[in-house]
Amino acid sequence: MTKQGNSPSGTRFLMITAALVIIIVGIKQAQPVLVSLLLALFLATLGTPPVLWLERRRIPTFVAVLLVVAGMIAILLILGTIVGASINSFYTGLPAYQALFQEQVSAFQSFLETKGIRGMEKILLEYINPGSVMSLTARLIAELGSALSNIVLILLTVTFILFEASSFPVKLRAALGDPLQVFPQFTRFVSDIERYMLIKTLISLATGILIGIWLYILGVDFPILWGFLAFLLNYVPSVGSTIAGVPAVLLALIHLGVGRAVMAAAGYMAVNFILDNVIETRIMGRKLGLSTLVVFLSLIFWGSMLGPVGMVLCIPLTMTVKFACENNEDTQWIALLLGPAESVRPVSQTGRNE
């Protein structure tokens, strides 16, 4: 009897597992299409508030959308020109920095030999090699650039999404048969995602500008590139800001010495602490509703599925999954696991919720 009672639940578990495997494989296979669509949704999320703001000032929707899209195109062209030139210069100077590092390692090894320490050169060149870090940085930027290779298609998709943005709630209510119905949970979720992306973009932009200015003052090469990298990786939770600072600090160490490298690292720490931990926390108000472990695991999962774009958008994607699970009785336990410990009501020793 026990086996028969457990059989349906076991079959259901296998079906759910098989469905998840199929979905994951499908996401991996459709990565190029999904990346373009996610970038379009990201840009549309940033562009919707300006469009709605212009519409409230009685500017026609068509004109408002064209103005916002034209602004996006102008920003992308300016960034592409300036950052692209900096990336090319970085690629050109990379071998010279590698050679300089090898010279410094040889000099340091000679110093260690005078102290009776031998065999450190191989370790320094193989395991503490800024050249590999710089190459990894260049590869990351190249992958992000390739994600924007379909920029015309992405901008067209953004344009059509913005045209539908103001009328979508009305269409959704009409499709469900009640034009006056209100969806508080869905509206709150969309508002939270939109608020998160806008605030995160502004904080990331301020981070990139301040980092670029600080590195320029210190005399570190390619401050525009490092500021742009700080802007991009600031979207990546927990570890993004730290990763963004590594190549710039190593370059300062190689080219300018220990003192400037320490000052560069201190600048990264100060900017990230003030903007991320103080200003962003105050502006955001309530928390994202995700546990720290889930944030880290979502970074790994979406990064492996969708590359750098998945890492940048891992929080909105995970919040979307959590929202979908919250609105289904069979999957509410998944949403509970994804949430922070504070969202779980304490249980007394008698087994009842307090």
Reported as a single tens digit per residue, the pLDDT across 105-120 is 677 667 666 766 665 5
**SS3 for 150?**
coil
**SS3 for 116?**
coil
Q: What is the pLDDT of residue 208?
A: 92
Q: What is the pLDDT of residue 342?
A: 58
Q: What is the pLDDT of residue 206?
A: 92
- Residue 133 CB-density burial (10 A; 0-12 exposed, 13-18 middle, 19+ buried): middle
Is the distance from CB of 100 to CB of 84 less than 8 angstroms?
no
Q: Give the model's confidence band at 217: pLDDT under 50 very low, under 70 low, under 90 confident, else very high.
A: very high
The phi, psi pair for 189, rounded to 5°, reads -65, -50
270/311: higher pLDDT: 270
Give residues with Cβ within 8 angstroms of 139, minimum separation 6: none
Mean pLDDT (whole number) for 234-256: 82
Flag whether pLDDT at 133 surpasses 90.
no
Residue 137 CB neighbour total at 10 angstroms: 24
Q: Give the model's confidence band at 80: pLDDT under 50 very low, under 70 low, under 90 confident, else very high.
A: confident
Q: What is the pLDDT of residue 207?
A: 92
Give the best-scoring range by mean pLDDT among 181-195, 315-329, 340-354: 315-329
- Alpha-carbon span 343 to 351, nearest angstrom: 17
Q: Give the model's confidence band at 267: pLDDT under 50 very low, under 70 low, under 90 confident, else very high.
A: very high
Q: Domain map of the chain by residue range?
A: 31-94+131-140+150-175, 197-284, 287-340
Is the distance from CB of 257 to CB of 115 less than 8 angstroms?
no
Report the chain's mean pLDDT, rounded to a whole number: 76
Give residues with Cβ within 8 angstroms of 241, minimum separation 6: 207, 230, 233, 234, 268, 272, 276
Task: Provide the whole-model pTM.
Answer: 0.74
